Structure formats: structure tokens, C-alpha cells
Amino acid sequence: MTQRIFRSVLLSAALVFVASIIMSTWVLYNYYSDTYHSRLESQTKLTAHALANEGMTFFKGLNASDYRVTWIAEDGTVLYDTDYDAKKLPNHSDREEFADAKALGYGESTRVSETMGKKQLYSAQKLPNGSVVRLSCSEISLLSLVPIMILPLILILLFEVLLALQLANRLSKSIVKPLNEIDLDAPEIYTDTYTELMPLLYRLEHQQKELRDHEEQLRKKQNEFNAATENMSEGLILLNNNFIILSINKTASKLLGISHFGVGKSLPELNRSLDLLELIETAYCGESCETVMSIDGLEYRFSASPVLSGGETAGIALLILDITEKERSEQMRREFTANVSHEIKTPLHSISGYAEIMRNGLVKPEDIGEFADRIYSETQRMITLVNDIIKLSRLDEGADTLLFEETHLLEIAEKVATSLEHAAEWAKVSLSVAGDDVTVTAVPHLVSGIIYNLCENAIKYNREDGSVSVMIKDCGEYAHVAVSDTGIGIPADQVGRIFERFYRVDKSRSKQVGGTGLGLSIVKHSAALLGAEIEVESVVNGGTTITVRLPKEQI
């Protein structure tokens, strides 16, 4: 113990000595650096004064071995340099000190010189005629102070070593002696009389307090971890290397039928799924793996990752994700692809059939016009279908590239009505627009597409001498766009499906009027991008009203 105290005191003295040397060197370095800067500034100003009076004659016989003097014209051209041929030097208008001197009268900078290839300190002074004189020298470094301080440092070191040895020897003996004389049967007497031990006691007490604080922090972190995992929609299970459950959250408990009392028990014993057992065994071998399992009709992805410690598996983290919606989206994508293929294949077959008949000369000359009309009709149907598919694809990309601006709903509705006048007249349907002149923050072409598709559907699926009305209403924070018709209506059990891609309520009528089955799907996607809601009210053979609730301001 005596040796430890001796070494501690000696080490403390050494640390104090090193700290004092560092501080002294730093102070001296700052002092010399400030003096160096001041001296360079003074020399620059004296040089500028002399150069302003004498001009180029000032450099005749000039001995500036400690400094590099450069005279720079107002445009940055080097007129003279004591160390280099001025004609070979580049233009100095981009030098920081030159720019500051021109703007402020005086400038300084420190950098690695492009000409000399070493760190230089630059000082520049503007002359009355607009030119600039610059002085530069190598910047002072800490290593340059070593020769100055080496002798004092050696003397101080010797004194410190002798003093530290003497003090360490005496202090170690004086501390150990009372400890050896402690009466272990009556330590309270010792604590009352030996005050030198109090720091040790205080330290022990402080360490105990820190341990209690750390324990409390660990408990808080554990509670926070439990709170976070309990509120996760994903399932989370932590296992040790023996597959014993260390932690399981509420979601995982519910999915696997394991209660919180399962903590501390083996997972394979509580859930005997072979797929799950194979998954955690693979993770135990050090490989991250995953599998998909069905639970109560829903699809879940189980991901197992090994927790490594020292190159060995110390535990396993098991994460359970609900991918039902993703699987459904994938199924919808496959169905969409199949529907697109079918919808495009039908007009192509018709076009091919008509064209083949005409090519083989099986059409009477007077019937060629009718066949051409049929080919044209099928081609237009296919073009419309492709255009709708392109629109949907662009809407699926999201609102990142959309430009929101002030949009006048009544004006857009009137323009849509004008564009559909011919279609309404052909279908013998009246089309009217009325309501409030409401302005919302939206994407004009998306709003126009919504109203156009709703009105077009209302005209196509109407009856002769029927009507279509567009009503714009100001409803506080929202604007309502309601499109009503007197058409065939929609059965109640099919209202929820009319926005699906390629879904048609009356397929025979859709084919007759040339519908693609994508119009309302475009309406749904456009409304979603604008943050709007859609409401449908319909009575079979009594008409349909579709209302779009548009927010006036985008959040």
C-alpha cells in the first residue's frame, strides 16, 4: 500500500508538471504569436509609408532577409517581389489579405503559400494610389519555442523530481502508519479521530450513491424499453442462446398465444411451430433469416437475427411484421396487370379481325367505311385505355412533383361543362353548373380531372332526357363538389367497389358507351393526393350523387 501511495503522489506530481509545461508553452506561444503579428503589422505599415513616398526606388539596396515583400497593383498584378521574379508570379487579386486590404485598408491571412509551399503569415496594407504592399513570413510554431525553453525545463524537471520523491516518501509513510494502528474492534473511535480517512469514506459513499443512480437509470431505461415495445404494432421477442424468452411484447404474445408469464421459459416449448423452430435454429448458427407464416388468415413475416458477442451467438432477436396489406397490394397489382392485358387484347383482336377480313377482300366496297369506323372506334378505345393507365401510373408516383396553387372550383367546373357539351347533347342529357365561387389550394389539373371523370360517367350512365348537375359549396374549412345525375344508379352492395380499377357495375352498358373502368379509380387517386374525401349516395334507377370534400388549405 505504501508503494501505491508513493507511486500515486509521484504520478500526480508528474501530471502537474506536464500540465504546467503545456500551459506555459501555450501561454508563451500565444504571447510570441501576438507579438509576431503586431511586429509584422507594424513593419507592413512602415513599408507602405516608405513605398508610398519613394516608389520603386525604395527596393534598391533593400535587405529584407526576415520578410518577403511583395508590391501588388490595384488589379492584382505583382509589380515587385523580393524573393521571386514578379513577371512569373500569378495574379494576386484572389488572395484574402489583398482583398481585405483593398476593401478595409489592411488585411491579414494565414495559409500554405502556393509559391513557397509552406505555411506563411501574410500582412497587407493599401497605399494611397490603390496598390497594395504585402509582407509575409513563416508562421511561428510550437517547435520553434523548444530551443528557448529547453534549459529552464530541464532545471524545473530536476527540481520537481527531487521534491516529488521526498514528498511521496513522507506522505506514504504518514498515511500508512495510522492505518496500521487502527483498532478494528472499535472503528468508530478511529473515524472520530482520524479525519484523513474521511475522504475515503466520502468516496465510498459517493460510489454507492452513483451505483444507486445507475440502478435507477437502468430501471428507467428498462421501463422505457418495455413501454416502447408494448406499443409497437410489430411483434418483438428477445431470446438467449438457449432459446429462453428474455422479453416479449404484447403484439408477439397475442400472435403466438404466449402470455407475459412466458418470460424465462423456452420458446419452442410454448410454440411448437416447425417453421418457427427452424428459423431460430438458423439464427443461432449466426445467419439472419426470415420466413412468412399465416396466422388467423393474415400474413406475417418472421425475421430472426443473431446477437453476437465475442464471435459467438449470445442471443436472438425475433421481429414479426404484418405484411397482409403488402401481399394484398401485390395481388391487386397482379390483377391489374391481368386486367390491362385483357382490356388491351380485346380491341386488338377486333382490329386484327376487321383488318384481316379487309385484307382478304371479303368486304364489299360499300361496307369498307363501316369496317373502317369499327377499326377507328376500337383504336380510340385502346388509346383512351392507355391514356387512363398512364394517368394512374403518374398518380401512383405520389405528390412530390405536384404544384399546389390557388384554384377556382366554379371556373374549372364551367370549363369542364363546356368541354362535355357535345357528349351531353349526343346522349340527350342536360348538364348544368352552379354554386359558390370557392378558391382552394390544390392542383388545378387534378381537380379538373376529378370533375371531368365524374361528369363523363354521369352522362354515360344516364338515361335519355336525363340531367347532370355540378354544385360547388363553401363549407368552412372544406369546399364540396357534388356531381348528381338521374341515371341508372349503383346497387348498395357495389358502391364500395366502384373505385376499383376496371370494375364496372353494368359491363354491357360500359362496353356500349366505351368506358375503360379506370375513370373513378383516377378520381380516387387524385382525391387522395389532394387530401380530399369522397362520399357516394346512389339509388338504383334513381340516380347517383358523388361528393368530393376538398380542404381549402394544404397542411
Quote the pLDDT of residue 392.
57
Residue 337 has pLDDT above 70, yes or no: no
- Does residue 503 carry a pLDDT above 70? no
Residues 6+ apart with CB under 8 A from 138: 118, 119, 120, 121
Domain boundaries, the chain: 1-181, 183-231, 232-322, 327-396, 405-551
Helices 324-359 and 368-396 meet at what angle, rounded to 10? 160
* Residue bearing cell 351531353: 424
Fold of 232-322: Beta-Lactamase (3.30.450)
| Rounded percentage of the chain residues whose pLDDT exceeds 90 | 4
Determine the 3-state secondary structure of 264 from DSSP: coil
pLDDT digits (tens, 9 = 90+) for 292-307: 888 777 888 888 888 8
- Cα→Cα distances 285→246, 304, 473, 552, Å: 19, 11, 65, 58
pTM of the model: 0.38
Q: Indicate if 232-322 has the same CATH topology as 1-181.
A: yes
Confidence at 512, pLDDT banded by 50, 70, 90: very low
User: What distance in Å separates the CA atoms of residue 101 and residue 72, rounded to the nearest whole number?
Assistant: 11
pLDDT of residue 284 exceeding 60, the answer is yes
What backbone phi and psi angles, to 5 degrees, belong to 418? -65, -40
| CATH architecture observed for domain 327-396 | Orthogonal Bundle (1.10)
- Would you state the CATH architecture of domain 1-181? 2-Layer Sandwich (3.30)
For the cut 60, the answer to whether the pLDDT of residue 188 exceeds it is no
User: According to the model, what pLDDT value does residue 510 have?
Assistant: 45
| 225 pLDDT above the threshold of 70 | yes
Q: Which fold has domain 405-551?
A: Heat Shock Protein 90 (3.30.565)
Q: What is the residue type of 85? A: D
Which of 51-65, 176-190, 449-463 has the least mean pLDDT? 176-190
CB 457 within 8 A of CB 523: no
Q: Residue 253 is placed in which grid cell? A: 404474445
pLDDT value at residue 388: 59
> Looking at residue 468, what is its pLDDT?
92
The continuous run of DSSP H or E covering 541 comes out as none
**DSSP annotation string for 469-492:** EEEEEEETTEEEEEEEE-S----G
